[in-house]
Amino acid sequence: MKNSIIVGVGHYVPETVVKNSDLEDVMDTSNEWIIERTGIEERRYGKKHVETSTTMGAKAAEMAIHDAGISKEDIDFIIFATLSPDYYFPGNGVLLQRELGITNTEIGALDIRNQCSGFVYGLSIADQFVKTGMYKNVLLVGGEMHSMGLDFSTRGRNVTVIFGDGAGAVIVQPTDDKNRGILTTHLHSNGTYAEKLAFISPGAHGGYYQKYTDEELDYGFPKDVLGEVFVTQKMVDEGMLYPHMEGQFVFKNAVVKFPEVIMEAFKKSGESIENLKLLIPHQANLRISQFVQKRLGLKDEQIWNNIQKYGNTTAASIPIALSEAIQAGVVKKGDLVCLAAFGSGFTWASALIRW
Ligand code: COA
């Protein structure tokens, strides 16, 4: 079996910069609070009517394709990870295929719904497909347009200040070099805490999960009628159409699972963390990254953080950071790179790569 290797990277962030002071204008928050709790100074928002998670993904993909030295027609499989898809269905995978203009090859397109760990899950899938010889040029994209689904009133401030828009992409190919490439990937989940960080409505749940929410939320679904509605008036009136997060609970789990899944990758591969060139953690919160850095005893130059500029871009955060680190010349051929993520689900994952 061949190894699989990342041969091209790319990223795109929208032009519009939204500073913490801009959020102060629309909700009861402060620059000091946001920086102290999250490290975030600004984030980018896509332009309505012009940009979506798919179009940003396409821009990142074009850069990755160019970087890999291949043409769009060489791509034989698409994987798109996002929690902010353009449509409920079909998914961003096929929309990206159309946006890139490669529908003539009729390749497969897969959508991933693993939120913050979506990119690492996608990398693991690409790795398996490439290693078995099924595909030779997998395009993996993580893209988010969070700004279309946030509550900009004070009620939503604990979530809204954290998230930003953007996209990142990689091309995964086979290699004959047994010493380089994706060494190992590790995927985990625990659905027990599904509602702790979730975008529940609109959804086809029909009120079934009421029992799992602390306040036994009534979503306003009519009972005993033929057929059901997807969005109820109650959801609109009571602002239920936004993400919900129990921040401290998420934080406490993240700081345990990040180090655990990173060390799992080192143990499995037989590599030593002392030889780690760069850890790229999902950019959830700068305080989480700092906690993980301390726990693992890493130096400042061994961890990449850019949440200060972009906020949390969920499935896009790791490929954006990876692309920036490559551009900055921090990661070179032969370097040991670790990717790790934790988020909604809960799902968490890691990948260890010999670049
Ligand atoms: N601006 C000002 N005050 C805010 C605020 C904001 N944006 N958001 C919440 N607050 C207030 C709360 O209302 C609360 O006020 P109270 O004490 O009067 O009730 C206070 O700040 C503390 O809220 P809390 O939620 O306990 O804050 P926290 O210290 O846990 O920080 C998070 C909140 C979200 C920054 C933090 O929990 C976190 O980062 N969690 C992990 C989130 C994450 O990584 N999510 C992505 C997963 S991949």
114 close to 206: Cβ distance less than 8 angstroms: no
Residue 226 placed within a domain: no
The type of residue at 178 is K
Q: Which of 19, 37, 155 to mutate to test the pocket of ligand 1 (most atoms within 8 A of CB)?
A: 37
- Our CA angle for 237, 241, 243, nearest 5°, is 140
CA-CA distance, 224 to 177, in Å (whole number)? Answer: 62
Answer yes or no: is the C-beta of 155 below 6 A from any ligand 1 atom. Answer: no
Mutate to test the pocket of ligand 1, among 119, 158, 249 (most ligand atoms within 8 A of CB): 158
DSSP code string of 29-48: --HHHHHHHH---EEEEPPT
Contacts of 293 (CB under 8 A, 6+ apart): 279, 300, 302, 303
First to last CA, the chain: 18
In whole angstroms, what is the distance from residue 312 CA to residue 149 CA?
A: 14
User: Residue 145 is part of a domain; what is its CATH number?
Assistant: 3.40.47.10
Nearest-CA residue for atom 32 of ligand 1: 247
Determine whether 312 is an active site residue. Answer: yes
Q: Name the residue among 3, 135, 142, 2 with its Cα closest to residue 70.
A: 135
Rounded to 10 deg, the angle between the 53-68 and 92-100 helix axes is 60
Determine the atom of ligand 1 nearest the C-alpha atom of 23: 7
The Å distance, Cα 296 to ligand 1 centre, comes to 25
Catalytic residue among 11, 116, 186, 253: 116
Q: Tell me if 248 CB under 6 Å of ligand 1.
A: yes
Nearest to 317 by CA among 17, 83, 24, 106: 83
Grouping H, G, I as helix, E, B as strand and the rest as coil, residue 277 is coil
Q: Is the separation of the CB atoms in 33 and 84 below 8 Å?
A: no
Q: How far apart are CA 7 and CA 256, in angstroms?
A: 32
Decide if 167 is inside a domain. yes
Distance 297 CA to ligand 1 centre (A): 27
Q: Is 282 a catalytic residue?
A: yes
Judge whether 111 lies within some domain. yes
The predicted structure's pLDDT at residue 212 = 81
What Rg value do the Cα atoms of the chain yield, rounded?
Answer: 20
**pTM for the full model?**
0.96
**pLDDT attached to residue 214:** 67
Split into its structural domains, the chain has a count of: 1
Residue 201 lies in a domain: no
Would you state the structure tokens that stand for residue 277, as one six-digit string?
Answer: 């060139």
Q: Which domain holds residue 40?
A: 3-175
Q: Given 11, 186, 244, 282, which residue is catalytic?
A: 282
Q: Residue 15: inside a domain, yes or no?
A: yes
From first to last of the 355 residues of the chain, give the pLDDT tens digit: 899 999 999 999 999 999 999 999 999 999 999 999 999 999 999 999 999 999 999 999 999 999 999 999 999 999 999 999 999 999 999 999 999 999 999 999 999 999 999 999 999 999 999 999 999 999 999 999 999 999 999 999 999 999 999 999 999 999 999 999 999 999 999 999 999 999 999 888 888 887 787 677 788 888 878 877 789 999 999 889 999 999 999 999 999 999 999 999 999 999 999 999 999 999 999 999 999 999 999 999 999 999 999 999 999 999 999 999 999 999 999 999 999 999 999 999 999 999 9
Which residue shows structure tokens 């993400």? Answer: 243
d(CA 159, CA 254): 16
Distance from residue 251's CA to the centre of ligand 1 (Å): 10
> CB of 161 within 8 A of CB of 20?
yes
Separation of 250 CA from ligand 1 center, angstroms?
Answer: 11
- The number of residues making up the chain comes to 355
43 within domain boundaries: yes
209 domain residue, yes or no: no
Answer whether residue 305 is part of any domain.
no
